[in-house]
């Protein structure tokens, strides 16, 4: 059934959707009708590098996030979406440009949280920022909807094709 398939997949997008509800309810959204495991919510938030946020908020995990999380920064919103995926604990994870709209510090914190989330899961990462995928087992390079290269980071760099060119371009911009 489709519902069974959906239970097996967690999704983190660049466009985080949050509800004008508590942090706890946003983290546990869609996971269980039996109620929220508050301890698991806190563990998920800690794994998503949001421990500092919890100590700053007047009502902790019972704090309202505002319409679409407007009381949170972009990095906090992204890490809240990661906490939701951690809470769901699905074996398949899809990351769609999960770090694309973040500043360097937020990206570092989000990437650390993603590394914890990806451990032991089949993960599909869609990214333009190549630092996000360098450590992937397999990378498929798409050009106009076609797979033009496939391999590990090392293999693709050795081929000196499209991936290697994009990698050099991105990292020369970072280092300049």
Same domain? For 97 and 33 the reply is: yes
Residues 116 and 164 in one domain: no
Mean pLDDT of 126-133: 85
The average confidence (pLDDT) of the chain is: 88
Domain-ending residue, one of 121, 148, 166: 121
| 144 and 116 in a common domain | no
- Exposed/middle/buried for 20, CB within 10 Å: 0-12, 13-18, 19+? middle
**Residues 73, 33 share a domain:** yes
Indicate whether 22 belongs to any domain: yes
Report pLDDT for 173: 61
Angle CA 115–37–99, to nearest 5: 25
Mean pLDDT, residues 167-176 taken together: 75
Q: Do 103 and 170 sit in the same domain of this protein?
A: no
**DSSP 8-state code for residue 64:** B
Q: Rounded distance, CA 133 to CA 50, Å?
A: 23
Q: What is the pLDDT of residue 64?
A: 95
On whether both 93 and 154 belong to a single domain, the answer is no
Are 42 and 106 members of one domain?
yes
| Residue 127 placed within a domain | no
The tens digit of pLDDT for each residue in 28-45 reads 997 766 789 999 999 999
Picking from 83, 81, 71, the residue whose alpha carbon sits closest to that of residue 101 is 81
How many folded domains does the chain comprise? 2
SS3 49: coil
Same domain, yes or no, for 90 and 139? Answer: no
CA 164 – CA 69 distance, rounded (Å): 38
> What secondary structure does DSSP assign to 111-135, as a single string?
HHHHHHHHTTSEEEEE-SSGGGTTT
Token pair of 101, please?
């709209």
CA distance 113 to 27: 14
Q: How would residue 154 be classed by pLDDT, with cut points 50, 70 and 90?
A: very high
Tell me the pTM. 0.82
Given a cut of 70, whether residue 174 has pLDDT beyond it is no
Measuring CA to CA, which residue among 68, 133, 82 is closest to residue 110? 82
Q: What percent of the chain shows pLDDT beyond 90?
A: 51
Confirm whether 129 is domain-assigned: no
Q: Are residues 98 and 49 part of one domain?
A: yes
**Between 114 and 86, whose confidence is greater?**
86
In angstroms, the CA 67 to CA 65 distance is 7
**9-20 residue pLDDT tens:** 999 998 999 999
- Shared-domain flag, residues 75 and 108: yes
| Band of residue 175 on the pLDDT scale cut at 50, 70, 90 | low
CATH of the domain at 23: 3.40.50.300
Q: Are residues 95 and 146 in the same domain?
A: no
User: Is residue 57 domain-resident?
Assistant: yes
| Same domain membership, residue 14 and residue 36 | yes
Instruction: Quote the CA–CA distance of 58 and 61 in Å, as a whole number.
Output: 9
pLDDT at 32: 65
Residue 141 belongs to some domain of the structure? yes
Six token digits for residue 14: 């660049």
**Residue numbers of the domain that contains 18:** 2-121
59 inside domain: yes
* Per-residue pLDDT at 51: 86
Instruction: Assign 129 a pLDDT band (cuts: 50, 70, 90).
Output: confident
């Amino acid at each position: 059934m489709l519902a069974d398939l959906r239970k097996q997949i967690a999704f983190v997008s660049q466009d985080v959707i949050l509800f004008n509800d508590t942090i706890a309810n946003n983290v546990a959204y869609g996971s269980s009708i039996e109620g929220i495991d508050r301890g698991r919510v806190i563990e998920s938030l800690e794994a998503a590098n949001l421990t500092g946020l919890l100590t700053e908020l007047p009502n902790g995990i019972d704090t309202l996030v505002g319409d679409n999380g407007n009381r949170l920064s972009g990095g906090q919103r992204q890490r809240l979406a990661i906490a939701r995926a951690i809470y769901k604990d699905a074996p398949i994870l899809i990351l769609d440009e999960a770090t694309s709209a973040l500043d360097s510090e937020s990206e570092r914190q989000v990437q650390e949280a993603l590394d914890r989330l990806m451990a032991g899961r089949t993960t599909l990462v869609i990214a333009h920022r190549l630092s996000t995928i360098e450590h992937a087992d397999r990378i498929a390079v798409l050009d106009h909807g076609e797979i033009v290269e496939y391999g590990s980071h090392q293999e693709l760099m050795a081929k000196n094709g499209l991936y290697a060119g994009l990698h050099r371009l991105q990292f020369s911009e970072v280092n300049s």
